[in-house]
Amino acid sequence: MLLLGLAAVFVSLLLGTMSLSVAASERQQVRRSLAAVSGGRTAPTVAPTLAQRIGDSAVLVTFARRLAPSGATAKTRRRLDFAGNPKGWDLDRVLAFKGAGLVVLGVLGLLFGGGAPAKMLLFAGAGALVGFYLPDVLLYNTGVKRQQVLQKELPDALDLLTICVEAGLGFDSALGQVTRSFKGPLAGEFFRVLQEMQIGKGRGEAFRAVVDRTDVPELRAFASAIAQADAFGIPIANVLRTQAREMRLKRQQRVEEKAQKVSVKMMVPLVLCILPAMFVVIIGPGAISIMRAFSGG
């Protein structure tokens, strides 16, 4: 009876989620059709994919919000900022996939748990836990990679920014030149800074917003220096020249640090893979000869 009850609960959750997601997708198709008619265009006939149906499910979003611990929503929103807010991804879509992962992997764990009730409960709980936190892990990994790209691009961008300012361009124009010359997350962040300054934000406030969206110490130091220069009237060219020199020095130090770690990292494959093969090739024939000599063969 316990197993039948658990199976009924998971199946009902799965069927209810699928039906509500289908209803949400149908409502979204109606909205797109009305928008197309009002705009004088032909409505697109492409059916939404399964991922789009899951992401648009309001039931899964509510389900994930109720199960998430306190403060998890703010952490997810910050991870989205670190990842650059990928196109088509927002907080509700991430929560919807967390809820779908919990239900689907929980049901799979229940099915693969065998006949023992304790084993089925263990597999179902482990699957539900993995499915619920897997989107967070993927989002965190995307954010870490983006921060590494920002850290790598910053010294070259500061060199170009310094050259443009020393050549006579204003800081805003030089920043625009950097956004046109570079392609990547750093150019996107600088472009957003320009947009925020155009709508009335101060230079220091716009760069402090960049610091809130990133986790790069060098970018934090650069934004702090720009804010101080803007507040105290320090010539921006001197600040940029100093910051560019420090960024190049820090990049060189990171490269030297990685080079010194290579010998330590090589010990693991050397001991586990290369040395055993060398021992087999070198000592193997001698060991066979010794065995034959002692056996009298």
DSSP assignment of 79-123? HHHHTT--TT--HHHHHHHHHHHHHHHHHHHHHTT-S-HHHHHHH
pLDDT of residue 254: 87
**What is the spatial distance between Cα 231 and Cα 92, in angstroms, rounded to a whole number?**
39
pLDDT of residue 18: 53
**What is the spatial distance between Cα 258 and Cα 256, in angstroms, rounded to a whole number?**
5
pLDDT of residue 212: 85
Largest CA distance in the chain: 97
Domains of the chain with CATH codes = 2-34+48-143 (no CATH), 149-251 (1.20.81)
* Successive 10-residue mean pLDDT values, the chain, 297 residues: 54 55 51 50 52 68 78 85 83 86 84 76 86 89 91 89 88 88 88 88 84 86 85 83 88 88 85 83 82 75
pLDDT of residue 125: 86
CB 110, CB 9: distance < 8 Å = no
pTM (two decimals) = 0.70
**What is the spatial distance between Cα 213 and Cα 189, in angstroms, rounded to a whole number?**
9
